Amino acid sequence: MSKEHKLFLRKQKKDKYKMYICQLLIFIIFIIAWQILTDLKIIDSFIISSPKNIIKTIYQLYSSNNLFIHIYTTIYETIISFIISMLLGIIVASILWYFPFISKVVEPYLTVINSLPKVALGPIILIWFGATTTSIIIMAILISSIVLMINIYNGFMSIDETKIKLIKSLTKSRTKLFYYLIFPGNIPNIISNLKICISMSLIGIIMGEFLVSKKGIGYLIMYGSQVFNLDLVMSGVILLCIVATTLYYLVYYIEKRYEKTTH
């Protein structure tokens, strides 16, 4: 490795640390400013709560053995819906690529379903599947799987035509073309789309919990708003941010690990 390259990598590392420090400082300044403004009564803590009240509320949930039950419920439902959505997205996108006629028939319907507000389907899902965890998971699958199907299918269709011609010159089999080029060439795209899928799954689960659940972070937020307990609402939002960030970086870590193994 040359001296210039080492200096470049060192500078890149420093810039990365600077970015992390700036992000942390912005967060700390925001929290301190929020607390000071509520202490000085410049903003009403009843309406938007305060960091101290949020910490107290989370501690109360922990003391009453409710905190981890709600977090576990939301994470469990999100992971189940994420796995099902991921499998559905990959399988359906593969079928659409493999059978061009089916893709032409189905594509307009996928677009319509994708553009349809899924909350509107909430009452129908509740009637069909009852006020159960199944309804929440189905809501999340509807929200995340359609987007994933479309994105993965578009990825399959965007493979370089020259590479396709090269494989076709060696074999006429569409199955081999998919196995050796289309799918392997789209693994980075699939993993990248999983970051969207995990976020959409979480959104779907929270929407489902708003409608039906008696456990979970969505339930905490909804219950808090019903009893005008803004401390509970804001605590739920903070917990949701933590869960969302953790799940996102889990998929991000998988993506980085894959990149390291392929380079």
Q: Give the pLDDT of residue 228.
A: 87
Residues 84 and 4 in one domain: no
Q: Which residues contact 80 (CB under 8 A, 6 or more apart)?
A: 137
CATH code of the domain in which 109 resides: 1.10.3720.10
Residues 122 and 19 in one domain: no
Q: Give the pLDDT of residue 220.
A: 92
**How many Cβ atoms sit within 10 Å of the Cβ of residue 45?**
19
Q: Return the structure tokens found at 83.
A: 């796995």
Q: Is the dihedral of CA 61, 66, 70, 72 positive or negative?
A: positive
Residues 18 and 102 in one domain: no
Residues 61 and 164 in one domain: yes
Q: Return the structure tokens found at 248.
A: 């996102």
Residues 21 and 37 in one domain: yes
Q: Give the pLDDT of residue 263.
A: 63
Residues 239 and 114 in one domain: yes
Residues 129 and 239 in one domain: yes
Q: Give the pLDDT of residue 46.
A: 82
Q: Give the pLDDT of residue 1.
A: 62
As a whole number of angstroms, the distance between CA 201 and CA 112 comes to 19
Torsion of CA 104, 105, 108, 109, to 10 degrees: -140
Residues 76 and 200 in one domain: yes
Average pLDDT per 10 consecutive residues for the chain, totaling 263 residues: 72 84 93 92 85 93 91 93 93 92 89 80 83 88 90 89 82 85 88 88 89 87 90 92 90 82 70
Residues 21 and 59 in one domain: no
DSSP for 65-104, written as a single string: T-HHHHHHHHHHHHHHHHHHHHHHHHHHHHHHHH-HHHHH
What is the tally of structural domains in the chain?
2
Is residue 113 within 8 A of residue 190, CB to CB? The reply is no
Residues 115 and 235 in one domain: yes
Residues 138 and 119 in one domain: yes
Domain that holds residue 4: 1-43
Residues 151 and 219 in one domain: yes
